[in-house]
Amino acid sequence: MLKFARALIGAAVALALLGAAGAGHAQAWPSKPIKIVAPVPPGGGVDFLSRAIAQKLQGALGVPVIVENKAGASATVGTDYVAKSPADGNTLLMGYSVLATNKFLVASLPYDLERDLVPVAYIGYIPLILVTPPGFAPTSVSELIALLKANPNKYFYASGGAGAGAHLAAEMFKSMTGTSMQHVPYKGNAPALTDVIGGQVPVMFDTITTSIPLVRAGKLKALATTGPKRSPLAPELPTMIEAGVPGFEISAWYMVFAPKKTPPEVLEKLNHTINSALADPEFAKQMAAQGVVFVGGSLVQAEAFLNSEVTRWGGLIKAAGIKAE
């Protein structure tokens, strides 16, 4: 009995020491500059949001927070860099929607999303917008569905490339509405939008920040947005759900990641700091002007969202036979 009691006391002391070490790690971090890797070129939504979050973290944590652009291979270069970085909380990734689809579209990824990275915080999203040329007959989503059903495979939709958000959104639309259209992939959104404006291709899902100025200028007609609620950039437009397609939701989302073995106490501190930034009304208003809707939430909620995205897009990509170019 005496030996057993001593063993219990020893175990308790060991656990206490481990807890103290963990608390000490959390208190010591951060002690040097933090790097947020944006896996895209400078400019654009991912880079912009990375710098905005970096500024808020720097103010809250009291250490320099820099953004480093590591673009290439559909975000693979920057993502792999973070996945193989020390798991100390000093190297983070501004991940975005493509991480959930790369798993199924990019051959021989050098990293494993679930094994090598951990979601820290779901920052927010920018919805897509369903647009057509101004002269295209349908003026609502229901009218578009009726037209497509009456003319199977007669009409075309544009995207910025195979596997792009616009491509996935249109395939999901077809699947959920029982309609058919033919895909016209372009090398980027700009040439795709040019042909939609010109009427060569009548349908496209695009990021709202890109298309809404063209809608305001009368160069495009908007039918609906694709977020769970109306966009602050176009509150007059219904969501796809409101327009009669239950469950239709797709957005360009943004999430901070860290290397998988980052200490839990550091992840919690990061998550709490980011959530505090997202709760700042002025910051939220500033980002809403760019189309970003903040979400936030716990580490568990971030991981659950990521898993749901991987599951649904993996199913759609396989069912539709989508292959990256």
Q: Any idea where the domains of the chain sit in the sequence?
A: 31-125+252-320, 127-225
**Residue 1 confidence (pLDDT) above 80:** no
Quickly state the pLDDT bin for 20 (edges 50, 70, 90).
Answer: very low
Question: Which pair of tokens denotes residue 321?
Answer: 């036979």
Class (C level, CATH) for 31-125+252-320 = alpha beta
What average pLDDT does the segment 289-307 reach? 96
pLDDT score of 13:
46
- pLDDT averaged over the chain? 92
Q: pTM for the whole thing?
A: 0.88
pLDDT in tens, 143-161: 999 999 999 999 999 999 9
Q: Which pLDDT score, from 0 to 100, does residue 293 have?
A: 95
**β-strands 182-185, 156-159 pairing:** parallel
The predicted-structure confidence for 209-249, as pLDDT tens digits, reads as follows 999 999 999 999 999 999 999 999 999 999 999 999 999 99
Class of the 127-225 domain? alpha beta
Look at residue 324 in the predicted model and tell me its pLDDT.
Answer: 75
pLDDT the model gives residue 44: 87
**107-142 pLDDT, tens per residue?**
899 999 999 999 999 999 999 999 999 999 999 999
**290-308 burial code (b ≥16 CB/10 A, e <16):** ebbbbbbbebeebbebbee
CB contact at 8 A, 233 and 209: yes
- Does 31-125+252-320 match 127-225 in CATH topology? yes
Round to whole Å and give the CA distance between 77 and 95.
Answer: 12
Residue 168 has what pLDDT? 96
Q: Tell me the average pLDDT across 164-186.
A: 96
Query: If pLDDT is split at 50, 70 and 90, which confidence band does 22 have?
Result: very low
The whole-number average pLDDT for the span 291-305 is 97
The residue type at 271? N
CB proximity list for 44: less than 8 A, separation 6 or greater: none
pLDDT, position 125:
96
Helix (H, G, I), strand (E, B) or coil at 202: coil
Model confidence at 85: pLDDT above 50: yes
Looking at the predicted structure, is the pLDDT value of residue 14 above 50?
Answer: no
Residue 194: in which H helix or E strand, if any?
helix 189-197
Mapped onto helix, strand or coil, the DSSP state of residue 256 is strand
